[in-house]
Amino acid sequence: MSLTMLQNFLLLHPALSAVCAGAIGACVGSFINVCIYRIPQGISIVTPASRCACGKPIPFWFNIPLFGWLMLRGRADCCGAKISLRYPLIELITALFYAAAWLLLPPAKASVACVLLPLLILLAGCDLDDMMVPDAPNFALVGTGLFFSILLPSIHGETSHNIEVINRIHAATDSLIGIAVGTALVWWIRTIGTVLAGREAMGEADIILCAGIGAYCGWQGAAFCLFGGSVIGVITALPGMILSKIKGEEYTGVVPFVPSLATAGTIWFFRGPELVMAWHQWVNS
Ligand SMILES: [Zn+2]
């Protein structure tokens, strides 16, 4: 079967291809789990093959994304140790995102999503796990964002010029401005917030992440990532804040900001232009 035939087949059977995209996503999610566990500890993500916490190697059929965990019903086969729900959850989330990207986005943007989404899930997972956000995948976000902007200018909507190089230059400019705006916005908010709060508000990881969203989505994406992410962060922290207020205790929880920023960035990547249109309609109504 030639590549064009495969392409046509996939376009004619969207449900079937969404299931395929989801299956690939589940496998990527399984790899993200390995990365979340190993990268902060400085262990290689390639070798050794996956092992149980007790040291015994895990047979490959128990490593099949989602099904492995279901077959084991959340307990290791070798020693009965509990396997965190986090593993199947990350596989499921990645699978759903891959299927959604295939169904909702144009082909160029959907293929870019296959790189952007795993990086965001990885960074969010590391932050939720132990508040340690590794630099390498974060900088990879900025680098790949710029790279894909030049390779596929249509992800920035730059398709109008009939000379392809001009579209690429425009998209690269959108991306670079996005990086600059993302960096500057978070840096300023962090500086002012730190002065006002008397303790470090936001971390360097937040700056790089917003710059990365800017690289993929332009300056509007970077701005939405920061402000939308702040709203999401506050909403997720609210139940804890209210609960400690009721109990009369001081709120000591820390809001993991990276997952909130990553969520806002993902929303913008999927539906940014539509959000701008809805905003204009709302303002002008
Ligand atoms: Zn074991």
Determine the structural domain holding residue 77 and report its residue range: 1-104
- Would you state the pLDDT for residue 122? 95
| 137/180 same-domain check | yes
Q: Is the pLDDT of residue 49 over 90?
A: no
| CA 25–ligand 1 middle distance (angstroms) | 26
Listed ranges 144-148, 202-206, 239-243, 271-275; the one with the highest mean pLDDT: 144-148
Domain end position, chosen among 104, 125, 146: 104
Q: Last residue of a domain, which of 58, 87, 104?
A: 104
Compute, in angstroms, the gap from residue 74 CA to the centroid of ligand 1.
12
Ligand 1 center–CA 75 separation, angstroms? 9
- Is residue 34 located within the same domain as residue 92? yes
Same structural domain, 66 and 114: no
97-130 as b/e, with b when 16 or more CB fall inside 10 Å?
A: bbbbbbeebeeebbbbbbbbbbbbbbbbbbbeee
29 shares its domain with 141: no
What gap in Å lies between CA 156 and CA 172, rounded to an integer?
Answer: 9
Q: Which tokens go with 190?
A: 């962090």
Spacing, Cα 162 to ligand 1 middle (Å): 59
How much distance in Å is there from the Cα of 57 to the middle of ligand 1? Answer: 8
Q: What is the DSSP string of 204-244?
A: HHHHHHHHHHHHHHHHHHHHHHHHHHHHHHHHHHHHHHHHH
- 276 C-alpha to center of ligand 1: Å? 51
Least confident of 43-57, 78-92, 150-164, 259-273: 43-57
Q: Which helix (H) or strand (E) holds 20?
A: helix 14-38
Per-residue model confidence as pLDDT tens digits over 63-96: 889 888 988 888 888 888 888 889 999 999 999 9
Q: How far is the CA of 125 from the centre of ligand 1 (A)?
A: 23
Indicate if 141 and 62 belong to the same structural domain. Answer: no
Question: How close is the Cα of 82 to the center of ligand 1, in Å?
Answer: 9
pLDDT over 70 (residue 1)? no
- Given 78, 104, 130, the domain boundary residue is 104
CA distance 60 to 69: 12
Nearest Cα to 115, choosing from 212, 219, 257? 212
The angle subtended at Cα 231 by Cα 271 and Cα 109, nearest 5°, is: 20
Query: How far is ligand 1, taken at its centre, from the CA of residue 33, in Å?
Result: 17
Interval between CA 249 and ligand 1 midpoint (Å): 40
H-state helical runs in 39-134 = 67-72, 86-104, 107-130
Q: Amino acid identity of 2?
A: S
Kindly report the pTM of this predicted structure.
0.90
Q: Give the number of other Cβ atoms within 10 Å of residue 4's Cβ.
A: 8
- Separation of 68 CA from ligand 1 center, angstroms? 14
Do 249 and 152 lie in one domain? The reply is yes
**Residue 194 and residue 224 in one domain:** yes
| Number of structural domains the chain divides into | 2
Domain match, 225 and 141 both: yes
* Residue 72: strand, helix, or coil: helix
Q: What is the pLDDT of residue 258?
A: 93
54 Cα: distance to centroid of ligand 1 (angstroms): 4
- Residue 49 alpha carbon to ligand 1 centre in Å: 14
In angstroms, rounded to a whole number, what is the distance separating the alpha carbons of residues 35 and 120? 12
* DSSP three-state, residue 75: strand
Could you tell me the distance, in angstroms and rounded to a whole number, from the CA of residue 80 to the centre of ligand 1?
A: 6
**150 and 268 fall within a common domain:** yes
What separation in Å is there between the alpha carbon of 51 and the centre of ligand 1? 8
